[in-house]
Amino acid sequence: MALSNSVPPILVFDLDGTLAETAPDLVATLNMLLTREGFPAVPYETARGLVGGGARALIERGLAHCGGSLPAARVDEMFEEYLSYYDAHIADATTLFPGVSAALDRFDAAGWRFAVCTNKIEYSAVLLLEALGVANRFKAICGRNSFPISKPDGRALLMTIEKAGGRSDRAIMVGDSRTDIETAQNAKIPVVAVDFGYTEMPVEAYEPDRVISHFDDLWDAAESLAESNWSIAQAS
């Protein structure tokens, strides 16, 4: 992949369901809260499908699945309890998806830089990436509370790119959900979707620019997007 422009290209990743399989620890935290409230635990395969909208949404979805209802004030308390427990168990069973480290190595050797734009709380995102041993690979790790706005507002992605020292016309987003795809589209940045994350419908339905099933495929996807999008930008 020829990179003639002096500005380093940048890949901006979502975190949950994109870089890391976080569902085991997210679901374990949910079930701890539910059972403490007297509700049954949600089976993992079912609960994995509830992940993807943040901790508060996961709690609400878990309660709805159990046919339960709690006052809004109690749900607020559970949200804070969720964050505290989850941070203490953030990488008990969480792992990077296969091929992540090798992909980062290949892009790094080619001069790319990396950032994370997630709707996870920033502290939790940094904590998790540190626990997984890859936090130092990202020029910026930005979460739901890093800026006044968050995904799917495209400005969250643009501000992440700026914080990482990148440029929006030399950027590609990588995510797993409708939120990630819409964020990139709102920012007018090409987006690669992984098809193994947390999404209500197949990611193809949200019309990303490319879909991959393994991080081994990211290089070719990014190369084709760079050639088609950046050559147009440089010519205009």
User: So which residues are the catalytic ones?
Assistant: 14
Give the helix/strand (H/E) hosting 114. Answer: strand 113-117
Calculate the CA 59 to chain-centre distance. Answer: 19
| Maximum distance among all Cα pairs of the chain, rounded to whole angstroms | 62
CA–CA distance, 52 with 198 (Å, rounded to integer): 5
**Cα gap 180→186, rounded to integer Å:** 10
User: Cα dihedral angle (220, 223, 224, 227), rounded to 10 degrees?
Assistant: -170
Other C-beta atoms closer than 10 Å to the C-beta of 96 total 16
Edge-to-edge order in the sheet of strand 191-194: 140-142, 113-117, 10-13, 171-175, 191-194, 210-212
